[in-house]
Structures are given as C-alpha cells and as structure tokens.
Amino acid sequence: MNSLAVIILTKNEEVNIVDAIEAAKACATEVLVVDSGSTDGTVELAKAHGARVVFRAWTNDFAAQRNFALTQTEADWVFYVDADERITPDLAQAVEQVIAANEAKQYSVTRKSVAFGTKFNHGVLKPDHVARLFPRTAVTWVNPVHEHPECDLPLVQLPGYLEHYTYRSWAQWEGKVMQYTSIWAEEAYERGRRISLSGVFLHSLGGFFKMFFGRLGFLDGWMGVFMCCHHFFYETMKYLKLHEQQRMKQK
C-alpha cells in the first residue's frame, strides 16, 4: 500500500496547527511537522494530535525547510500544506485516489483565501493554483522566499481545494510583510537586482494597477480595494529594502 506524508512547516502556529493536522488526517498516512523553533504551544499541540515533529533551525530559506522535510520521511508521496491551510473533504478524497493509483505525475490544487473574515475571489488574494503533491523522490524546492518546486513529471490539477486562512489580523499581515520583503530584498540583491527610487515607485504603482484592474480586486468590495492599496505598500517595501541594500553596500 502506498503511503502519504502531509508536511507542515511551523513556527508559532498554535492558533492554526490543530485544525491543519485534523484536516490532513483525512488522507495522510503520517503528518510531519517541521518546526523552526516555536516558543508557543505549537510543538506540544502537534504531538498531542498525532503529528510527528522534527526540528530545523530557521535560516531565512523556505525552500531549505521543505527540502529538509523530504529527508525526514520514507513515505512514497508528499503533500505540502501550510499551517494556515485546510484540506477540504473533496480534496482529501481526490488525494486518496492519486495515492492508490500511484502514477508518475505531480499535482496542483486550487487555493481559496479567507482573510479578515472575508472570502476573496479577485485581486491580491484571488484563488490560485499551487503544485503541492509529489512522489517524494521526484521533487526539489528552490528560492528562499516565494519558493517553488522543481519536478519533471506531468502536472495535473486536482478537484477540490485548500482553504487558506491567510490573515486573521492586520498585525499578522504587517509581520508577514516585514518578514517576506526583507528576505526578498536580500535574495534579489545577491542575484544582482538593482533599482532606483523612481523605479521603486513605478514598480509599486504597477503592482497596484495589476491587482485593482488586471485581477479585478475592486469586485471584492471595500476589503478588496484595501488589499490592493496594501499591495502597493508591500511592493514599495520590497523595493525600498532592495534600494537600502544598494546604499549600504556602496558605503
């Protein structure tokens, strides 16, 4: 019988981890939590709800965490789920069918976002498709932030979807923005990316128009409009931090 490890990366996810694990049990042979140093109750809760927990120190590299997980299980298949995502019953059933068939393919899933009590269908948080289910030996992850998998197998879309409870509060949103933009700027600078202050503004403005008009963010009501405005801020922080890297290195 083929086996499946559902892999969840965590750091201080006690608000999310129980629901994530319980949803994963619908299709998982094992739930593997890769923790990067939680100081809340994440680890204890994960163990109490049947997950196996391993530790890897955080190195500002999401791909490294995901690749480490591949060395910590012998399951035939791996399904990556974030702590703030929930496997829905229809998706769990589809995953079980994939594992039973055991074909040499990779699978993407639809992810629908819920933030600040609002379900989004457009703009910044419109539903997207993410590759998450792979034969364990066929995938490698790359990039420290906005990481993505590299897999040579044919990509197939699964029915069902993940519910993504991305932000519960604006304070949480702010914390993630600061973390992700700092990692992005450092990695972009190392790749040789450079930008002027006028370029910072133009990139940010372009990001706003893309979300507001290109992805029809205004159709999600006032919350959709606010998210488009905040995307302008997110892009601004990314490129300002890159510009800061340039200025500091020149000194």
3-state SS track over the chain: CCCEEEEEEECCCCCCHHHHHHHHCCCCCEEEEEECCCCCCHHHHHHHCCCEEEECCCCCCHHHHHHHHHCCCCCCEEEECCCCEEECHHHHHHHHHHHHHCCCCEEEEEEEEEECCEECCCHHHCCEEEEEEEEHHHCEEECCCCCEEECCCCEEEEEEEEEEEEECCHHHHHHHHHHHHHHHHHHHHHCCCCCCHHHHHHHHHHHHHHHHHHCCHHHHHHHHHHHHHHHHHHHHHHHHHHHHHHHHHHC
Q: Are residues 21 and 141 in the same domain?
A: yes
Q: Are residues 121 and 147 in the same domain?
A: yes
Q: Are residues 148 and 181 in the same domain?
A: no
Q: Are residues 112 and 85 in the same domain?
A: yes
185, 151 Cβ separation under 8 angstroms:
no
Could you give the CA distance from residue 107 to residue 158 in angstroms, rounded to a whole number?
6
**Structural domain ending residue among the three candidates 167, 189, 206:** 167
Q: Are residues 72 and 163 in the same domain?
A: yes
| CB-neighbour burial class of residue 137 (10 A; exposed 0-12, middle 13-18, buried 19+) | exposed
**Structural domain ending residue among the three candidates 121, 136, 167:** 167
Q: The CATH number of the domain where 29 resides is what?
A: 3.90.550.10
pLDDT at res. 166: 86
**Structural domain ending residue among the three candidates 143, 167, 191:** 167
List phi, psi (to 5°) of 240: -65, -40
pLDDT at res. 241: 96
Q: Are residues 105 and 163 in the same domain?
A: yes
> Please, how many CA atoms are within 13 Å of residue 44, restricted to the half-sphere of its CB?
3
Q: Are residues 64 and 174 in the same domain?
A: no
Could you give the CA distance from residue 14 to residue 41 in angstroms, rounded to a whole number?
5
pLDDT at res. 145: 73
34, 56 Cβ separation under 8 angstroms:
yes
pLDDT at res. 251: 67
Expressed as residue numbers, the domain containing 132 is 4-167
Cα angle at 235 between 234 and 236, to 5 degrees?
A: 90
Overall number of domains in the chain: 2
pLDDT at res. 130: 95
Q: What is the mean pLDDT of each run of 10 residues along the chain (251 residues)?
A: 96 96 98 97 98 95 95 98 96 97 97 90 92 97 89 97 89 89 92 94 96 94 94 96 90 67
> With the C-alpha atoms ordered 171, 175, 176, 177, is the resulting torsion angle positive or negative?
positive
Q: Are residues 57 and 180 in the same domain?
A: no
Q: Are residues 126 and 179 in the same domain?
A: no
pLDDT at res. 248: 86
Q: Are residues 144 and 220 in the same domain?
A: no
Q: Are residues 61 and 142 in the same domain?
A: yes
